[in-house]
Each structure stands twice: as C-alpha cells, then as structure tokens.
Amino acid sequence: MPKKIILDVDPGHDDAIAILLAKGNPEIELAAITSVAGNQILSKTTYNTLRVATLVGATDIPIAAGAEFPLVRDQITDADSIAGSVHGESGLDGPVLPEPAMELDPRHAAQLIIDLVMAGEPGEYTLVPTGPLTNIALAMRLQPEIVTRVKEVVLMGGAYTQGNVTPAAEFNILADAEAAAAVFNADWQVTMVGLDLTHQAVATPEIRERIRAIDTDISRVVDEWLDFFGANYDSVWKMPYPPIHDACAVARVISADIVKAEKAFITVETAGKWTYGETVTDFLGAYGLPFNNLAATELDFDAFWDLIIDAIKTVSKS
C-alpha cells in the first residue's frame, strides 16, 4: 500500500523536484498539494505549483493555495528570500514550463488539509511540508483533531548544527518561526529533515550526467533547474553543487533507511536575540524532556539519487 501524503510547498527548484519525486515514486500516493508563501510571494509559488504539477502529470488531485503571510511577524523580504537570489524572480526561474492544466481548488490550503485528514482513517495521511509552516499551523489551530489523526509530519526545515539565513536559523523555520514552534511542539511526531541532512543531497557532476542521459523533456527541465539553482547556490552560498533539500523529506517517507533519523527533543526558539528561529535539538536528554521528535542525520547518497532518477523516468512516460 503506497503511503498517502499531502505536500505543502513554496516552489522553489527543490520543491519542484520534491513534487516530481512524490508523483513518480510507487511507494507514495500524492493525495494533494498546497502552496505557501516562502521562496516567493504566494501568487508566484501557487502558479509554480500548478505548472510543476502539470509538468509531472499530477493533474487529478486537489491543489489549494494557502497563507500569504506568516502568522505573527512580517514577511522576510530581503534578497535571500522573496524576489530572492536562489530561486529567481519567478520563484522557479530557468526553463519554460507548461501553463496550468487544472483549476486551483477553491478551499484554503489549511481547509483542504483538514478535509482530507478528517475524512480519512486515523494514520492515513502524512504531511510533508517543504516551505514555511504557516499552513500547517493554521490547520492545527482550525481543527486540533488533525494532530492525532495525521500519521506524522515529515518536514524539510531547520538544522541542528547551522542555519542558512542566520548562523542559528534555516530559511523555512525563520520565515515563520511562530508557526514552526506550534508545529514542533504539538503532540504529533515531527521528523525534521534539516540542513545537516539535505546538504548531503548534492547534485554532483556525475549525478547531473546521469540525469542528462535520461534524455526526455522532463529530464531536460530538471537539468535546467539544477543549472539555475546550482549557479546561484555557488555564488551565494559557496557550495559547488546544489543540495536538493525538499526532495529529502519525500525520500524519508519512502525509506527510513535512505534518510536515517534519530530521536531527540526538538523545539523552536522564538525569543532569542541571536538565535531566533533556531531548531534547538537535544539528542542527549540534557533538558530532561521527552524525545518528542526525530532529526534526520544520515543520507544514503546513491539510493537517494536512484529514487530521483527513477522518478524522472516514471513521470517522463506518463
């Protein structure tokens, strides 16, 4: 039985590859996609979501737009995020994409999540957020029962060593730290697939060559995404090859062996002067608090890229 997931995204090149992996992997049933403001403003991330869903053939599932702004604080609009340097003006710069072949679901993303989770069996759905956690926090507050009905939350965000916007904070968490705190502190299991893990998932020249060898329209789009994202990653973050962050969260749902995780107490700092948005991770029980969540630690690089390459082949056929 494939695992049913709801993807909550802010595409974003790596979000786009996460959508592709979710659609193209046989272990996953992609039940719905929701969009949130993050890498770009909501209208752009929503449009990108529809275009990527069209590209990969995810045309028969509900897609709903969610939160335009963070719960409490103002949106971060500096050069590293909105209109940012990494994903470009459109949020998904690079190759030309098909225009959306479907309508947006009229519901708010939070409502769509609630409707699916409450109509399903307990434990039927896994939430996979790969952007700021605003929609997930809103859904939790609107219908607290989803917390016990969701199987687990497997999210891309955070880091237990170092952030990528500040030394303490990763982008998705910093973008809506109050929402992230609510999600991490709720009584469900959160698996944090953070930068410590995702920085292992880099598209090396050997991987790029394997993707080009697939030689389909979609493999060429992925190759151009990696060109754009990779060039900016190199100039902005001084990393020679781009990490495909968001696909790692989907890979964790597919296989706990490919993305290994360890139990920990994890919460989000929302008061620190220097550490605002940090995902404080206690592996050793120093706080004496129960290990409420999991932190991803180790990636099986070869198996991860086999998943991506197989998924590109699969969505290229349909």
Give the number of other Cβ atoms within 10 Å of residue 167's Cβ. 12
| Assigned token pair, 102 | 């479907």
- Cβ neighbors of 103 (< 8 A, separation 6 or more) are none
170 binds, among Ca ion, ligand PIR, none (CB under 5 to 8 A by kind): ligand PIR
Alpha-carbon distance of 211 to 252, in angstroms, equals 21
Phi, psi of 310 (to 5 degrees): -60, -40
Among 4, 5, 7, 12, binds ligand PIR (CB under 6 A): 12
- Do the beta carbons of residue 230 and residue 241 sit within 8 Å? yes
Compute CA 222 distance to the chain's CA centroid, rounded to the nearest angstrom.
17
Q: Which stretch binds Ca ion (CB under 5 A): 125-133, 173-181, 251-259, 275-283?
A: 125-133
Nearest-approach distance from CB 82 to Ca ion, in angstroms: 13
Residue 171 sits in the site that holds ligand PIR (CB under 6 A): yes
Nearest-approach distance from CB 189 to ligand PIR, in angstroms: 20
Which uninterrupted H or E stretch holds 137? helix 134-142
| Assigned token pair, 95 | 């190759």
Q: Which stretch binds Ca ion (CB under 5 A): 81-89, 244-252, 260-268, 272-280?
A: 244-252
Number of residues counted as binding Ca ion (CB under 5 A): 6
Q: What character string, x for contact with ligand PIR (CB under 6 A) and - otherwise, covers 237-266?
A: --------xx--------------------
- Residues facing 278 on adjacent strands: 169
| Assigned token pair, 259 | 């993305």
Q: What residues between 3 and 22 interact with Ca ion by CB under 5 A? A: 10, 12, 15
Q: What residues between 280 and 299 interact with Ca ion by CB under 5 A? A: none
Compute CA 72 distance to the chain's CA centroid, rounded to the nearest angstrom.
21
Q: Is 161 exposed, middle or buried (0-12, 13-18, 19+ CB in 10 A)?
A: exposed
Amino acid at 264: A
Nearer to Ca ion, 12 or 70 (CB): 12
164 binds, among ligand PIR, Ca ion, none (CB under 5 to 8 A by kind): ligand PIR
Alpha-carbon distance of 233 to 304, in angstroms, equals 20
Which uninterrupted H or E stretch holds 148? helix 146-149
Q: Which stretch binds Ca ion (CB under 5 A): 128-136, 234-242, 287-295, 303-311?
A: 128-136
Q: Which stretch binds ligand PIR (CB under 6 A): 11-19, 40-48, 141-149, 284-292?
A: 11-19
Among 4, 6, 8, 14, binds ligand PIR (CB under 6 A): 14
Is residue 245 annotated as part of the catalytic site, yes or no?
yes
223 binds, among Ca ion, ligand PIR, none (CB under 5 to 8 A by kind): none
Catalytic residues: 245
Binding residues (CB under 6 A) for ligand PIR: these are 12, 14-15, 39, 86, 130-131, 156, 164, 170-172, 245-246
